[in-house]
Amino acid sequence: MFLAVHVVLVEPEIAPNTGNIIRLCAITGAELHLVEPLGFELSDRLLKRGGLDYHERANVTVHPDLESVANRLTGRWFAFSSRSTKPFGDVRFTQSDVLVFGAERSGLSEEVLGRFAEDQRLTIPMRPGNRSLNLANAAAIVVYEAWRQHGYEGATLDGLTSLTSETPGAAPFDP
């Protein structure tokens, strides 16, 4: 289907953001890894609402710490932070890349960010005076860029099945 990129959320706090990222991963084929502690329960109704009916279609793993993720995933690792200076668009993403995002309020800690070489610390460019993007939006921007770089491998681009309808089977917003 898609490249096997891995999205890692370190200590996510907001259930609807994680629900949206579950949906993103289901739609694109990316795998999602959640690093505890989580700021919500996996049964949270807001998590389910954000992910709609995509939970069953997504590959989601919960890990007790970042070390357990590191022991499992051997691809190139990239940390995303507003404190980084290398634009994510400068990277040619590969099949096994690991995309690491921090918690909504604090981002990645200095300790976690310090594990990454300077060229593995990426940022999403923004206009001056802004702090950060919403976590789900940031993950979507990067995952879709990785997918774009590989020709949207596995996607249906016939204009009929790649629509923005919120309700499965409902008429799309954009005909």
Note whether residue 28 is domain-resident: yes
Q: Look at residue 2 in the predicted model and tell me its pLDDT.
A: 55
Note whether residue 167 is domain-resident: no
Note whether residue 93 is domain-resident: yes
Note whether residue 155 is domain-resident: no
Q: Look at residue 48 in the predicted model and tell me its pLDDT.
A: 62
The span from the CA of 104 to the CA of 52, in Å, is 21
- In angstroms, the first-to-last Cα distance of the chain is 25
Q: Look at residue 1 in the predicted model and tell me its pLDDT.
A: 47
Q: Look at residue 173 in the predicted model and tell me its pLDDT.
A: 42
Q: Look at residue 42 in the predicted model and tell me its pLDDT.
A: 79
170-174 contacts at long range (C-beta below 8 A, 24 or more positions apart):
none
- Neighbour tally for 157: CB within 10 Å: 9
Domain range for 117 is 6-149
Note whether residue 172 is domain-resident: no
**pLDDT in single tens digits along all 175 residues of the chain:** 456 799 999 999 998 899 999 999 988 999 999 999 999 887 756 666 555 566 677 889 999 999 999 999 989 999 999 989 999 999 999 988 999 999 999 999 999 999 999 999 999 999 988 878 899 999 999 999 999 998 888 887 665 454 455 555 554 444 3
Give me the number of domains the chain comprises.
Answer: 1
Note whether residue 161 is domain-resident: no
Note whether residue 162 is domain-resident: no
The CATH number assigned to the domain holding 18 equals: 3.40.1280.10
Note whether residue 160 is domain-resident: no
Q: Look at residue 65 in the predicted model and tell me its pLDDT.
A: 97
